[in-house]
Amino acid sequence: MAKAELPLIIEANELEKQLDKKNLLLVDLSQAQTYVQYHIPGAVFLEYAWIVHTEPPCMGLLPDQAHLTNVLSALGLTQDTHVVAYDDEGGGRACRFLWTLDVVGHQHYSLLNGGLHAWANEGHRVTSEIDYPSKGKYQATIDNGPLADRQYILDHLQDENVKLLDARSPQEYAGTKVYALRGGHIPGAINIEWTEAMDTQRNMRLKQESDLRAMLENNGITPDKEIITHCQTHHRSSYTYIMLKSLGYKKIKGYAGSWSEWGNDENVPIEN
């Protein structure tokens, strides 16, 4: 069985050429009603809620190994499967899934650049035929490398080699729009809203590499630093995580609890 050697960020034209690959698994994290209406031929549906764990007020936590084992097995994932994920919102949900794959050490994955917007708007084949995955056996083992938790961040607040990248809106960052007990941001965090990386003129694709690098480096987000991405629930910031990974950043982590944890904890410091 030939492996599909695909880039981390794959274009619709290239993906269409790969649809017959046997070890390729297309995972659609669009809204359910969108998937039922149309999706890429062969894509299986994954409900976003299945890959996050909630302990209110924390809404975006990582599920445990047993849960992830069940979800990934239900998708028919194997160690050799190359996953291509996409959604209908620009990539946030798809990237949360890819970050989850990173956490369990599954390295064969890609993001469809622009997702369903790029695919459908540029005339590629779609179908309403439902594809059901063949259940497999996949053992998920959590690797802490791509993970940052509250204590890790507290331990590194004064570390000049660690940068916190807040992917929320400027209003959330400033504390004028509040979705937790407290508003504001983690001390020292740098705010680059996740949509700043998207090119709305090119069907929600990532912006050109040179533009992304300039945006990041002008804000002190350089490849020599360890970068921790977060938002409210590590949904938007998962897109930021995959964007950084696509640019070759090696030291990146995602904070799953994000502001839904930090902003609801009166014992941690904030700025606004």
Active-site amino acid positions: 231
Determine contact, residues 230/186, Cβ cutoff 8 Å: yes
CA 17 from chain centre, in angstroms, equals 25
In sequence order, the 6+-apart residues with CB closer than 8 A to the CB of 213 are 247
Give the span between the Cα atoms of 67 and 63, in whole angstroms: 6
Q: What is the CA radius of gyration of the chain?
A: 18
In sequence order, the 6+-apart residues with CB closer than 8 A to the CB of 177 are 169, 171, 183
Token pair for 198: 């998207």
Token pair for 159: 């570390």
Determine contact, residues 177/191, Cβ cutoff 8 Å: no
Helix (H, G, I), strand (E, B) or coil at 8: coil
Give the span between the Cα atoms of 223 and 163, in whole angstroms: 10
Across the chain, which distance is largest between two alpha carbons, in Å?
54
58-61/252-255 β-pairing? unpaired
